[in-house]
Amino acid sequence: MTPDSGAKRIALLDRDGTIIVDKVYLRDPDLIEFAPGAIEGLKLLRDSGFVLLLVTNQSGVARGYFDEACLARIHDRLEAMLARHGIELAKIYYCPHGPNDNCQCRKPATGMVRQAMADFGFCAGHAVVIGDSDADMRLAEASGIRGIRIGSEPGSVRNFRMAAEQALELVSEPQLATLGCKSRSS
């Protein structure tokens, strides 16, 4: 999928613990396992016209657990597994840095979201962040984007399917016509 400037709904998706089971520094593409409700929820978002973007911290690269070539193999396999279900990620954004590297891309920093906004021409009102961590929700807040958390914490939804249903309510088609894209620095 290629970026365009039309008003689209955007789902910024965390990877580990959100669309796949968190294996803690996943190094083996064969160990990818979809999280509960992930396929159903991704299909729901796709069928509702959302552009699906992966936004993931991958500090295993900085920590030396795996290299970027291994990460590429993991993402290639993930995309192939999704394709079997007719699901396409428009783009994968990842941060290879560690928590103490002071980069601008590691969530909750907004670098990956700012790049996605530039690449796909959307504004905060047209997007939702779906993730399972404090960093994901702080990213959403710092970017002015609504966040949906998956997990057992108060206010969270139990699985990705439920998160997708909530996303449809938060970024509905009629809202796109009324939500203007205002410039916001982050």
Identify the domain containing residue 112 by its residue range: 11-175
The pTM for the full model equals 0.91
Q: Is 154 exposed, middle or buried (0-12, 13-18, 19+ CB in 10 A)?
A: exposed
Given a cut of 70, is residue 1 above it in pLDDT? no
Element spanning 55, H or E: strand 50-57
Given a cut of 50, is residue 57 above it in pLDDT? yes
Examine the residue annotation and report whether 14 is marked as an active-site residue of this protein.
yes
Domain count for the chain: 1
Examine the residue annotation and report whether 28 is marked as an active-site residue of this protein.
no
CATH number at residue 108: 3.40.50.1000
Distance CA 104, CA 84 (A): 34
Given a cut of 80, is residue 182 above it in pLDDT? no
Question: Is residue 142 assigned to a domain?
Answer: yes
Side-by-side strand order, sheet with 9-13: 91-95, 50-57, 9-13, 127-131, 146-149
Alpha carbon 110 to its chain's center: 13
Active-site residue, selected from the candidate residues 4, 16, 76, 132: 16
Active-site residue, selected from the candidate residues 14, 28, 76, 101: 14
